[in-house]
Amino acid sequence: MKAGKVVSLVVAATLAVVAALMVLIFETAPGLQQGLEGVPIIVRIGIIAGALGVIYYLILCPVGLLFDRAMREMHRFFVEVATSEQVTPYRVPKWLIPLMHAFTGAVEHFRQQEVDFRNQLRDLEVRHRVSEVQRRQIEAVLHALRDGVLVTDSFNEIVMANDMAANALGFETKDAIHHPLEQVIQDQRMIELVSDAKETMNTAERFHVEHELAVGHDENGNPTGSCLFDLTLACVEDHKHEVGGVVTILHDLTREREISQMKSDFVSKASHELRTPLSSIRAYVEMLVDGEAEDESSRQEFYQIIHNETERLGRLIDNMLNISRIEAGIVQIEREIVDPKELIERAVETIGLQAQAKNISLHTKLAPVSLQVEGDADMLYQAVLNLASNAVKYTPEGGRVTLTADSDNLTRSVVISVVDTGLGIPPDAVSKLFEKFFRVENYKRIAKGTGLGLNLCKHIVETLHNGQIGVESKLGMGSKFWFSIPMRYAGSQAA
Ligand code: ADP
Q: DSSP for 32-76?
A: HHHHTTTS-HHHHHHHHHHHHHHHIIIIIHHHHHHHHHHHHHHHH
| CA 201/CA 195 separation, integer angstroms | 10
Tell which atom from ligand 1 comes closest to the C-alpha of 391. 23
DSSP of 383-442: HHHHHHHHHHHTS-TT-EEEEEEEEETTTTEEEEEEEE-S----HHHHTTTTSTT---GG
Whether 184 and 158 have beta carbons less than 8 Å apart is answered as yes
361-366 vs 400-408, strand pairing mode = parallel
DSSP of 112-155: HHHHHHHHHHHHHHHHHHHHHHHHHHHHHHHHH-SSEEEEEETT
pLDDT at 5: 67
The more confidently predicted of residues 256 and 183 is 183
Residue 163 backbone class (left: φ over 0; alpha: ψ -120 to 50; beta: rest): alpha
pLDDT at 26: 65
The more confidently predicted of residues 126 and 108 is 126
Q: How many A from CA of 373 to the centre of ligand 1? A: 26
pLDDT at 6: 66
**Closest residue (by CA) to atom 11 of ligand 1?**
439
Residue to mutate (ligand 1; options 439, 473, 477; most atoms within 8 A of CB): 439
pLDDT at 492: 40
- Of 427, 417, 429, 426, the C-alpha closest to 391 is 417
The more confidently predicted of residues 439 and 61 is 439
pLDDT at 463: 93
The more confidently predicted of residues 366 and 38 is 366
Residue 256 has pLDDT above 90, yes or no: no
Q: How many A from CA of 416 to the centre of ligand 1? A: 18
pLDDT at 490: 40
Instruction: Find the mean pLDDT for residues 292-319.
Output: 90
Whether 212 and 229 have beta carbons less than 8 Å apart is answered as yes
Q: 429 Cβ partners below 8 Å, 6+ apart?
A: 438, 440
Cβ density class 283-294: b for 16+ within 10 Å, e for less: ebeeeeeeeebe
Residue 38 has pLDDT above 80, yes or no: no
Q: Report residue 495's pLDDT band, with 50, 70 and 90 as the boundaries.
A: very low
Whether 323 and 383 have beta carbons less than 8 Å apart is answered as no
| CA 67/CA 72 separation, integer angstroms | 9
Whether 347 and 297 have beta carbons less than 8 Å apart is answered as no
Q: 466 Cβ partners below 8 Å, 6+ apart?
A: 485, 486, 489
DSSP SS3 for 107: helix
The more confidently predicted of residues 307 and 8 is 307
The more confidently predicted of residues 375 and 46 is 375
Strand partners, 435: none
pTM: 0.58
| CA 212/CA 252 separation, integer angstroms | 10
pLDDT tens readout for residues 78-102: 888 777 777 777 777 787 788 888 8
Q: How many A from CA of 402 to the centre of ligand 1? A: 17
Q: How many A from CA of 453 to the centre of ligand 1? A: 8
Instruction: Find the mean pLDDT for residues 461-477.
Output: 95
Residue 412 backbone class (left: φ over 0; alpha: ψ -120 to 50; beta: rest): left
Tell which atom from ligand 1 comes closest to the C-alpha of 443. 16
| CA 206/CA 204 separation, integer angstroms | 7
The more confidently predicted of residues 64 and 193 is 193
pLDDT tens readout for residues 322-371: 998 998 888 888 889 999 999 999 999 999 999 999 999 999 999 888 88
Q: How many A from CA of 365 to the centre of ligand 1? A: 23
What average pLDDT does the chain have? Answer: 87
Cβ density class 105-116: b for 16+ within 10 Å, e for less: eeeeeeeeeeee
DSSP SS3 for 194: helix
Q: Report residue 198's pLDDT band, with 50, 70 and 90 as the boundaries.
A: confident
Residue to mutate (ligand 1; options 358, 420, 454, 483; most atoms within 8 A of CB): 454
Q: Which amino acid is at 130?
A: V
Q: Report residue 205's pLDDT band, with 50, 70 and 90 as the boundaries.
A: confident
Instruction: Find the mean pLDDT for residues 206-231.
Output: 83
| CA 315/CA 452 separation, integer angstroms | 9
Q: What's the burial of 219, exposed, middle or buried (CB within 10 Å: 0-12/13-18/19+)?
A: exposed
- Of 204, 203, 146, 149, the C-alpha closest to 173 is 149
Cα angle at 122 between 116 and 125, to 5 degrees?
A: 140
| CA 50/CA 45 separation, integer angstroms | 8
Residue 301 has pLDDT above 80, yes or no: yes
Tell which atom from ligand 1 comes closest to the C-alpha of 451. 8
Pocket of ligand 1 (CB under 6 A): 386, 390-391, 394, 420, 422-423, 425, 433, 438-440, 443, 449-455, 479
| CA 361/CA 359 separation, integer angstroms | 6
CA distances from 104 to 86, 88, 100, 184 (A): 13, 12, 6, 60
Q: How many A from CA of 390 to the centre of ligand 1? A: 6
What Rg do the C-alpha atoms of the chain give, in angstroms?
52
CA atoms within 13 A on the CB side of 66: 10
| CA 314/CA 436 separation, integer angstroms | 17
